[in-house]
Amino acid sequence: MVKTQVRVKKTALMLAAFGLMLFAGAVQAGASEKAAHPELSEQEMLIDCAACHKEVTPEVEKEWNDSVHGIGMVKCYQCHGTFETFMVEPTRETCGACHADKLENHAEKQGKAANTPCWECHVPHSFQAKK
């Protein structure tokens, strides 16, 4: 009787742990799906990002358009990649392709870790320093 109760408790504990792992995996999958760009047709891929984002996320498009990058006509793919390599948050290395001078010791000078993402201190798309 006692062995049966112990076995039932172990089984219940293992099932609970398995359920928790499945739940965590589902949450993680949901998070990564949110970070992906919506599926586009080949025709839609030829349209400039800003044309669609002006309607879908107008605040982001305006922020970019009014920024140094927008005025300088830096295109979305230069920071966020193409549809095949799309990333919501560019890496420091991506920023470094144009801003190598800013990456070298900049974070440390600001009292941050060397691998601190640029957007931790700068507002994405407007690139103003956060206060």
Domain range for 16: 1-34
Residues 24 and 73 in one domain: no
Residues 82 and 22 in one domain: no
Residues 19 and 66 in one domain: no
Full-prediction pTM beyond 0.85? no
Residues 75 and 124 in one domain: yes
For residue 22, what pLDDT is reported?
47
For residue 86, what pLDDT is reported?
87
Residues 8 and 46 in one domain: no
Residues 29 and 49 in one domain: no
Residues 52 and 113 in one domain: yes
Q: List the chain pLDDT tens, one digit each, 131 residues.
A: 666 665 655 554 444 444 444 444 444 444 444 457 788 888 888 888 888 899 999 998 999 999 888 999 999 999 998 888 888 888 888 988 998 888 877 877 888 888 888 888 888 887 777 76
**CB contact burial 53-90 (16+ within 10 A = b; e otherwise):** beeeeeebbebbeebebbeeeeebeebbbeeeeeeeeb
Residues 47 and 22 in one domain: no
Domain count, the chain: 2
Residues 18 and 80 in one domain: no
Cβ-proximal residues to 96 (8 Å cutoff; 6+ apart), any chain: 103
